[in-house]
Structure 1
């Protein structure tokens, strides 16, 4: 892309106990709240290390203006498609880590829904002293907008939903229901410094980007799947985790996590949507 080059961003950051406690309150699942000195649960670094851009750098969609760290992709829909995390060392709440991030590739493609751009971002976290703790790849997809929802659609429909309560509820030996409402999405957006308007702004989500309703965050789905793994009794740190979002889940849609044996050296957790189709898949590598 003319005028833009990938560059490495390095920062020293605190694993702040406050957002960690906020995520524990959001899940409200009865597990102990990780405090200073405790090992950070798998994938909780997404909440423990939020990045808050200054207001003048926020674009119309709520994300930082493109052309800085991320490339200046003109396609309006940004989707969190998946990725992989490998753990090399434990990370503790209250310690300071060095984060090193870089855009590894930008690939333009054409799919059934039109043009799309795939952006791959790598992030590494180093503990004090230089020890590599975590190595991560995230896949972002940019797409064309869908058709706008009818002007007669009532945004009050989203606000009138019955409160969902705790998002994870055991439904069987290997299954957990996943309940969402606008309040949950707003709280997760705040906890992760994610201002993307498709998660809380009903008119924007439906009339600008063309979704049928508020979109459940891809990172929230992955984090909830990792939490299901802990609720099933696996409280230790895995060797790795692969996650893939196959289709968007919309606010208040019925959904259920199901733990399957999987082909990897660990379980697979599928998020089944209203029709029983897999909307997301998380594979746990126990090493």
Structure 2
């Protein structure tokens, strides 16, 4: 499938200088009304239906190399014949594994455009709904369709294109607390340098009311870990990968994705302002860990389509349900008998029993 960038507007935005980012930021410090519906309508009016924003970037091998090493993976692909990444960069033409496109097309704003919490404010609603969280979404790999005569992957050395458009903005109220928040849906298409569609990435961002840094937050107590016997019982019939992220890995993840959200590295902000127990593990890091576990199992089961172990799902839909914190143990679980099914349920579960992320892997059939 090919998608060609043909509109004049799209080409103009793609060629626009970096300072033009301000033209599609909807952050306004002087918003007069705090009526959520008024803010929703104001936000949507700034992103006309079908309006798109495009930018191009070289998918360089060193960025992919550092990203894979940060994920504690010494090879890009399990069956790769090349040397370990500590010794050499991935070769030109190496496909990016599922989810690794997040190492590219990172935020590119001057410091003054970032939100108070360090987040990219390009698609923020107006004040006071500026406290952003990545709530979930879906990622689809149409270029990996095994029934197609030609595969289309994002590859090292490509000058790829990212096309972004706003899909929706809705006001929602949390039933338990009565808090109102805005949910913004964004869709990103990633094309290779021949304009073949490789990845469709839909993201749902939740925007809550901004916090006052001068008012210390209350930190909820940590729940006790389940007895090991109960954890082992939960693991029965599952493929299990255990994690306990440290602040070094979280710092490297933030650096490589150019994500300045302070909850991931600024402990005083995360605890005193946002009310977290510790710095927070990135939601996309758990998303990629789900994808890595799935592909490792597909390769182990002999289901990869290439001798290098190259394999992609059809789609991953996912939803973040609870924070994961540095230094706390959690697991990613996937049923052992699910690889031959059309759907594979996969989840991240804390060792205190809390489900932190739910996902569904849609397999090619």
TM-score bucket (shorter structure): 0.7 to 0.9
1:240 positional shift:
1.2
* Structure (1/2) with the larger helix percentage: 2
Structure number having the greater strand percentage: 1
The equivalent residue for 2:75 is 31
Contact 2:217 2:274 in 1 (8 A): no
Cα distance in structure 2, aligned partners of 1:192 and 1:231: 23
Aligned partner (choices 80, 89, 101) of residue 134 of structure 2: 80
**2:46 maps to which residue?**
5
- 2:126 pairs with 1:46: no
> What root-mean-square deviation, in Å, do the aligned CA atoms of Structure 1 and Structure 2 show?
2.5
Residues 349, 355 of structure 2: 8 Å contact kept: yes
Paired residue total: 266
The list of structure 1 runs, each at least 4 consecutive aligned residues, that deviate by more than 6 angstroms after superposition, is none
Distance 1:183 1:126 in 2: 32
Number of the residue aligned with 1:164: none
* Contact 1:118/1:140 (8 A) holds in 2: yes
Normalized against structure 2, the TM-score is what?
Answer: 0.67
- Report whether the alignment pairs 1:202 with 2:243: no
Q: How far off is 1:47 after superposition?
A: 0.8
Describe the shift of the 1:80–1:244 C-alpha distance in structure 2 as closer, same or farther (beyond 3 A): same
Q: State the match for 1:223 in structure 2.
A: 288
Q: Secondary structure at the match of 1:267?
A: strand
Contact 2:322/2:354 (<8 A) preserved: no
Choose which of 209, 212, 216 in structure 2 pairs with 1:148.
216
1:136 and 2:201 matched: yes
Asked if 1:93 corresponds to 2:147, the answer is no
**TM-score of the pair, normalised by structure 1:** 0.84
- Please list the CA deviations of residues 46-99 of structure 1 after superposition, one character each: whole Å capped at 9, or x if unmatched: 1133223222212211013x4x43322523532111111111222111111111
Partner of 2:326: 251
CA contact (8 A) 1:103 1:121 kept: yes
Indicate the residue corresponding to 2:27 in structure 1: none
What CA distance in whole angstroms lies between the structure 2 residues aligned with 1:266 and 1:23?
A: 28
Q: For the pair shown, which has the larger CA radius of gyration, 1 or 2?
A: 2
Of residues 121, 135, 141, the one that matches 2:186 is: 121
Q: Distance in 1 between matches of 2:91 and 2:137?
A: 27
